């Protein structure tokens, strides 16, 4: 924690980093772009943004971040993964490119690009009971879908056809969609709350 303000990292290897920074800053967090293991060691929680999961995977290994992030997950660091970030948090990825790896930690099977091409992007209202009665406005842009949820994870939201698009497990939250571009802040607020709880227990 930076004073009384949580310091939240945004994995800044590729993807929509700036949008997450703006949401977190508006909520009163100190925000740090994470590109190296030394950066990760300075934050209380991490956002893994949307982008291209195969590129994030390759760059995380190139910059020596893959294992430190896996270690942070095992150690209980709160993390929010959106779109490609969900893929990176999933234990199992279907339709991955050859050699693609994830960080893991979220007991789900995720399919890449399940909603088609970018021109087939759409928005939807989602009921997310964990966030209260007001629906979430979610933007899906070439997003993944959760094909199955293991015993360790919890379904947070699903589309009307039953496809799971949000899941959580302990300090991990994975979303198929982009709350940061629709003005939805409650998932980021939840991440900040998890970071504060973890900080309070480690004092």
188 is catalytic: no
Three-state DSSP at 26 gives helix
Lowest mean pLDDT among 116-120, 124-128, 158-162: 116-120
Catalytic residue among 20, 21, 52, 178: 178
**So what's the pLDDT on residue 199?**
85
178 is catalytic: yes
160 is catalytic: no
DSSP string, 81-131: EETHHHHHHEEEEETPPTT------EEEEEETTTT-SGGG-EEEEE--GGG
Domains and CATH numbers, the chain: 7-201 (3.40.50.880)
- Rounded Cα–Cα distance for residues 15 and 194 (Å): 24
User: Residue 119 pLDDT > 60, yes or no?
Assistant: no
- Rounded Cα–Cα distance for residues 24 and 193 (Å): 12
Token output for 43: 């934050």
pLDDT greater at residue 98 or residue 108: 108
Catalytic residue among 21, 52, 180, 184: 180
Distances from the Cα of 2 to the Cαs of 9, 31, 167, 190, in angstroms? 12, 10, 29, 18
């Amino acid at each position: 924690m930076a004073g009384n303000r949580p310091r939240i990292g945004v994995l800044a290897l590729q993807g929509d980093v700036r949008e997450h920074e703006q949401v977190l800053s508006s909520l009163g967090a100190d925000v740090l772009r994470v590109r190296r293991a030394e950066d990760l060691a300075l934050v209380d929680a991490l956002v893994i943004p949307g982008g291209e999961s195969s590129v994030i995977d390759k760059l995380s290994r190139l910059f020596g971040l893959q294992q430190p992030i896996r270690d942070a997950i095992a150690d209980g660091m709160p993390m929010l993964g959106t779109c490609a970030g969900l893929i990176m948090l999933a234990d199992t990825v279907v339709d991955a490119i050859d050699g693609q790896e994830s960080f893991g930690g979220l007991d789900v099977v995720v399919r890449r690009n399940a909603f088609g091409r970018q021109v087939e992007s759409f928005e939807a209202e989602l009921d997310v009971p964990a966030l209260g009665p007001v629906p979430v406005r979610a933007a899906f842009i070439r997003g993944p879908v959760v094909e199955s949820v293991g015993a360790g994870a919890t379904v947070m939201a699903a589309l009307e056809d039953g496809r799971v698009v949000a899941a959580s497990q302990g300090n991990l939250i994975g979303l198929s969609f982009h709350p940061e571009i629709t003005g939805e802040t409650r998932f980021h607020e939840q991440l900040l709350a998890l970071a504060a709880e973890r900080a309070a227990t480690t004092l």
